[in-house]
Amino acid sequence: MKFLTQISAALGLLSTSVLAHPVLDDLLQPSAPLKRAAAALTQVNSFGDNPSGAKMYIYVPSQLAENPPIIVAIHYCTGTAQAYYSGSPYAQLADQKGFIVIYPESPYSGTCWDVSSKETLTHNGGGNSNSIANMVSYTLEQYGADASKVFVTGSSSGAMMTNVMAATYPELFAAGIVYSGVPAGCFYDQAGGADTWNNSCATGQSTGSAELWGSIALNMDPGYDGPRPKMQIYHGSADTTLYPNNYNETIKQWASVFGYDYTKPDETAGNTPQSQYTTYTWGDNLIGIYAQGVGHTVPIRGSDDMTFFGL
Ligand SMILES: *[C@@H]1O[C@H](CO)[C@@H](O)[C@H](O)[C@H]1NC(C)=O
Ligand SMILES: *[C@@H]1O[C@H](CO)[C@@H](O)[C@H](O)[C@H]1NC(C)=O
């Protein structure tokens, strides 16, 4: 509608012969669908400081909202920006809703994300999280995007990274959605390696109190006490890559950060949002969705994501 208003206003300046143009006629029919070309996934080569060498790809829909929201969509291990662009629903939803999608790409050979080094687990620490935060800052500036509507999501390694982004850059994000990840800090490597596999965490042996997990997240950006992204955590009960214990440990982490008792959700809804899934809600900031019988990874629920993000 906004577009039509602009077109109508512009036409006030045009001659009647231009008005007869069939394409413009078409646009002036309120019921005619707007014609537009699909945009493309594009690499951005310089987005500012990139200490960890992560790559930035961006999808800017042809019909961009004014002050567009941003979704950062982070791929799984062995994935690429291109694979997550074509394999997830976000670009299509961007076409409908006018937000921008940033697809970061891991610089590592197995193309998992670094969720193990001190650098990546620290605000402005110079790791992958720092590079992704800089992609967000670049996009906010370049497109006049809405800083209050920046969201992060990912699957598997990208889900782990989503928890890490929420912990290291809480000021950047309004909400995060985690599809089959582990708590922020759970893949920590004592030897300091970047992009290493932590078997104890993956197999669900890294357990701790809610307070411990909470403090691990808080210590990634010590001293920060502003608003934090609300979180939605999906996990499958039949996950044999990142064992289901990681669901509970992640819930404990964010429950502690927000001051909820993780053992007492305010609401529990069986068979929601679909059969065999149970949704647990704590206050305004935490939702856990445990998918009975689902393995690695829980399939992305694009339109539910839009609801959680308020888009
Ligand atoms: C794996 O992560 C846990 C925390 O989840 C940590 O205690 C442990 O030391 C890590 N393992 C290695 C080999 O660094
Ligand atoms: C997760 O925690 C709940 C209690 O909040 C418990 O009933 C459940 O067995 C736990 N699940 C796992 C996989 O540890």
Per-residue confidence (pLDDT) for residue 30, from 0 to 100: 41
Listed residue (177, 185, 300, 297) closest to 242, CA to CA: 297
DSSP-derived secondary structure letter, 245: H
Residue 303, phi-psi category: left (phi > 0), alpha (psi -120 to 50), beta (remainder): alpha
Among 16-20, 32-36, 214-218, 299-303, the minimum mean pLDDT is found in 16-20
Q: Where are the domains of the chain?
A: 2-13+41-309
For residue 31, pLDDT beyond 80: no
Which residue CA neighbors atom 5 of ligand 1 most closely? Answer: 186
Crossing angle for the helix pair 128-143 and 157-168, nearest 10 degrees?
70
> Where does ligand 2 bind, in terms of residues with CB under 6 Å?
244-245, 248, 263
What's the pLDDT tens digit per position in 97-106? 999 999 999 9
Ligand 1 centre to CA of 249 (Å) is 14
Which residue CA neighbors atom 12 of ligand 2 most closely? Answer: 245
d(CA 245, CA 281): 18
Which residue CA neighbors atom 4 of ligand 2 most closely? Answer: 263
The residue-averaged pLDDT of 10-26 equals 36
CB distance 198 to ligand 1 below 6 Å? yes
Per-residue confidence (pLDDT) for residue 37, from 0 to 100: 52
**Looking at the CA of 206, which ligand is closest?**
1
CB distance 206 to ligand 1 below 6 Å? yes
Per-residue confidence (pLDDT) for residue 52, from 0 to 100: 97
pTM surpassing 0.85? yes
What amino acid positions are annotated as catalytic residues? 156
For residue 5, pLDDT beyond 80: no
Residue 251, phi-psi category: left (phi > 0), alpha (psi -120 to 50), beta (remainder): alpha
d(CA 16, CA 83): 48
Per-residue confidence (pLDDT) for residue 291, from 0 to 100: 98
**Looking at the CA of 205, which ligand is closest?**
1
For residue 23, pLDDT beyond 60: no
The residue-averaged pLDDT of 116-131 equals 98
What's the pLDDT tens digit per position in 180-219? 999 999 999 999 999 999 999 999 999 999 999 999 999 9
d(CA 229, CA 250): 14
SS3 of 97-163: the string is: HCCEEEEEECCCCCCCCCCCCCCCCCCCCCCHHHHHHHHHHHHHHHHCCCCCCEEEEEECHHHHHHH
Q: Mutation test of ligand 1: which of 115, 117, 120, 206 has the most ligand atoms closer than 8 Å to its C-beta?
A: 206
Apex CA 157: angle with CA 151 and CA 163, to 5°? 45
Q: Which fold has domain 2-13+41-309?
A: Rossmann fold (3.40.50)
Question: Mean pLDDT over all residues of the chain?
Answer: 91
Q: Write out the E strands in the chain.
A: 41-44, 55-59, 70-74, 100-105, 150-155, 175-179, 230-236, 267-269, 277-282, 286-291
**CA neighbours closer than 13 Å in the CB half-sphere of residue 270:** 0
39: confidence class by pLDDT, cuts 50, 70, 90: confident
Among 15-29, 65-79, 176-190, 230-244, the minimum mean pLDDT is found in 15-29
**Looking at the CA of 208, which ligand is closest?**
1
How many percent of the chain have pLDDT more than 90?
Answer: 87
| β-pair partners for 268 | 280
For residue 149, pLDDT beyond 60: yes
The residue-averaged pLDDT of 245-263 equals 98
For residue 22, pLDDT beyond 60: no
d(CA 112, CA 93): 25
CB distance 50 to ligand 1 below 6 Å? no
d(CA 264, CA 268): 9
